[in-house]
Amino acid sequence: MPTQDLRIAESTPTVEGQGERVVDVLILGGGLCGISAAIGCLRKGIDDIVIVERAHSVGGTWHHNTYPGCAVDIPSHVYSFSFELNPDWSAGFSPQSEVETYLNRVCEKYQLAEKFELGTEVLDATWDDGLQRWQITTNQGVYQARSFIAAAGPLHEPIIPSLPGLEDFTGEVFHSSNWPKDFDPTGKNVVVIGTGASAIQFVPAIQPAVKQMTVLQRTPSWVMAKPNWKTTAFERRMLRRFPALMKAMRLGIWIPMDIFFVLATKFPRFARAMSTVAKAHIRKSITDPQMIADLTPDYAPACKRLGFSNDFYPALASDNVDLWTSPAARITENSVITADGREAVADAIVLGTGFHTLQNHPVAERIHGKDGRSLADVWDGNPTAYMGTTMAGFPNAYIMFGPNAGTLSGFVMAEAQTDYILGALESLRSHGLTSIEVREEEQQAFVDAVDKTMKSSTFALGGCASYYLADNGRVALPWPGSMSNLRRKLSRFDLSAYKTRAVRHVTV
């Protein structure tokens, strides 16, 4: 199987355009973060923007991830923009197709089509301190941008394990984020590598069709019952007729989620109670003592991303599914050999192996600050940012879903960061500035405050290795508070935390 088929690659990294296009704001990424930033700019009268997206459609992760069973894992009424509530969700936890449709509808309403450059990949973004602009090279040409918003997100580049023999496999092999539209699992022997968030969804979706499925689990995930519900046509009609009901429903979900976050991450006793509930969820479907033991994590819930499913454990308990706890060691023409020597016959291999995250974010390698170093080199596996959004050494640059910006809802995070970025852009405009750059001491003070809060959190003390943690063990991905806390903190932009530069004046 050719390895290039395993990656998401929808544009060729060669420069084809001529000349340079000058814009006020360039946004990298057409997913929910990029869409949020673009709408925010337009609503503030910042019209000279361009959104570059390497895919040929908008939606980001909700465009790429089309695997069977793909759905949101938090309630849809919170997983949406507050200014564009959707009365038409078919369920409490809506499927991928509805989220992609929703994002496309939002883009259409706010007339973003003319702002998008699809099939366009950023190859390099370098700050030119003389011009006081970002010089951005894409496969379609070169841009100069006064401000640069990196909104690609950390979960778009799949991890492809380096397994001996993978190229010799004669069947189909693909990452879950690159699921072939014509793949039919019916009657096939399927080997699944990984039991993370995606596998929790696609394993039960394809289990009834396969001949035999072997699931290779390295580390079990905590999986809680999913309180899903279907919405009736009458309910959707009422939500359309009375928008206040949608706002009330969103608030009624938001508040318990905030409380849950604080309890799960700050109070060990609550985490222990969560594990009791989660273990009962396992025993509800699994009766074999060894399998129960294999599926029970040895770390605290909320230490890493929780799974939610009512079907995952019943699928694993099915007669045509085997759960093995030894990792894949090598691949033959028609099988997978595990580290303990067992062999699973395979017509297809599905990689549920996750994504590169902030620590090795591929976009960070392409962003170069005022001293010429890449963001990846500056971070060196330990990403930090001020307010999860700006970085010392990178003037007029903003990263969305950046270090310590993550919260329960990506939409809530995107709106909060958009508000903060708009505050920065407005400061540039109203004060006649050419650039702003967060002071190193301000960024370090913010990081120190986050670390102090996180030191006693479940993220740090839960006993797991997760993509929440940087290479040095620092909790680098989640925001150190609730969704409400994030919105409140990022609602105000404090220019005094920044070095500024005007045409004839520089503050240090």
CB 67 within 8 A of CB 446: no
CA distance 358 to 155: 8
pLDDT of residue 506: 54
Please tell me the CATH superfamily of domain 166-228+249-351, with its number.
Answer: FAD/NAD(P)-binding domain (3.50.50.60)
CA distance 164 to 329: 7
pLDDT of residue 497: 99
pLDDT of residue 7 exceeding 60: no
Place of tokens 């996750």: 354
Task: Pull the structure tokens for residue 375.
Answer: 């963001």
Distance of CA 20 to the CA centre of its chain: 31
Q: Which residue has better confidence, 155 or 257?
A: 257
CB 151 within 8 A of CB 28: yes
Place of tokens 């359309």: 240
| Mean per-residue pLDDT, 465-474 | 93
| Mean per-residue pLDDT, 257-282 | 93
pTM here is 0.94
- The CATH classification number of 17-58+112-157+356-502 equals 3.50.50.60
pLDDT of residue 503: 72
pLDDT of residue 2 exceeding 60: no
Residues 400-441: pLDDT tens digits?
999 999 999 999 999 999 999 999 999 999 999 999 999 999
List C-alpha distances in Å: 409 to 32, 43, 250.
11, 22, 12
Identify the sign of the CA torsion 66, 71, 76, 81.
Answer: negative
Residues 38-84: pLDDT tens digits?
999 999 999 999 999 999 999 999 999 999 999 999 999 999 999 99
- Going by C-alpha positions, the residue among 288, 128, 292, 306 that lies closest to residue 200 is 306
CA distance 369 to 124: 11
pLDDT of residue 10: 41
* Confidence band of 136 (pLDDT split at 50, 70, 90): very high
Strand locations in 315-469 (E)? 321-324, 328-331, 335-338, 343-345, 348-351, 367-368, 397-399, 433-438
Identify the sign of the CA torsion 82, 85, 91, 97.
Answer: negative
Place of tokens 């591929």: 362
* Domain spans, the chain: 17-58+112-157+356-502, 166-228+249-351
pLDDT of residue 16: 46
* Confidence band of 272 (pLDDT split at 50, 70, 90): confident
pLDDT of residue 268: 79
CB 366 within 8 A of CB 148: no
Q: Do 17-58+112-157+356-502 and 166-228+249-351 agree at the fold level?
A: yes
